[in-house]
Amino acid sequence: RDILVLNGPNLNLLGKRQPQIYGHETLDDVARLCGEACEDGFFIRLEQSNHEGALIDLIHAARETTCGIVINPGAFTHTSIAILDALNTYEPPVIEVHISQVHKREAFRHHSYVSRRADGVIAGLGLEGYAAGVRRICQLKRR
């Protein structure tokens, strides 16, 4: 059973991009932490794209093949009804993660379209938020 850990725009530069906000760890560290958080019988599939349509295609492809999505939609969080609509075609649990505490940042980061669909929302825990998202999906889907 696969869990999709899906990352939106600019997260390919994690570790290099505004490290005072997002830290020095990279997407490889996200993959490692998610792997460690994953219970036996579950597998992590990590993806990243800077393109809205590509993220939507990955969500569609995940419909039949995964048991949950941990998503950090990056700035598309605040703009993309299309990603919200894609997630609304997806039945298993969805956990929304933000590395930074978006609610203490600019007002335009306070609203999330994705939160209307997400079963859980995590912000400000750094990369631990991804691990927490993975643990939650394992807990919901274990049998």
Binding-site annotation: residue ranges for substrate: 72, 78, 85, 99-100, 109
**Cβ-proximal residues to 135 (8 Å cutoff; 6+ apart), any chain:** 37, 39
String of DSSP letters for 46-99: EEE-S-HHHHHHHHHHHTTTEEEEEEE-GGGGGT-HHHHHHHTT--S-EEEEES
Binding of residue 10 to ligand DQA (CB under 6 A): yes
Write the interaction track for ligand DQA spanning residues 69-108; mark x where CB under 6 A is met and - where it is not.
---x-xx-x--------------------xxx-x------
Maximum alpha-carbon separation in the chain:
41
Tokens 């978006």 belong to which residue?
Answer: 102
Annotated binding site, which residues?
72, 78, 85, 99-100, 109
Return the active site residues. Answer: 22, 98
Size of the site for ligand DQA (CB under 6 A): 10
Shortest CB 105 distance to ligand DQA, Å: 7
50 binds ligand DQA (CB under 6 A): no
The distance of closest approach from Cβ of residue 41 to ligand DQA in the complex, given in angstroms and rounded to an integer, is: 28
| For ligand DQA, the closer CB: 58 or 99 | 99
Total length of the chain: 143
Distance between CA atoms of 95 and 66, rounded to whole angstroms?
A: 13
Residues making contact with ligand DQA (CB under 6 A): 10, 72, 74-75, 77, 98-100, 102, 109
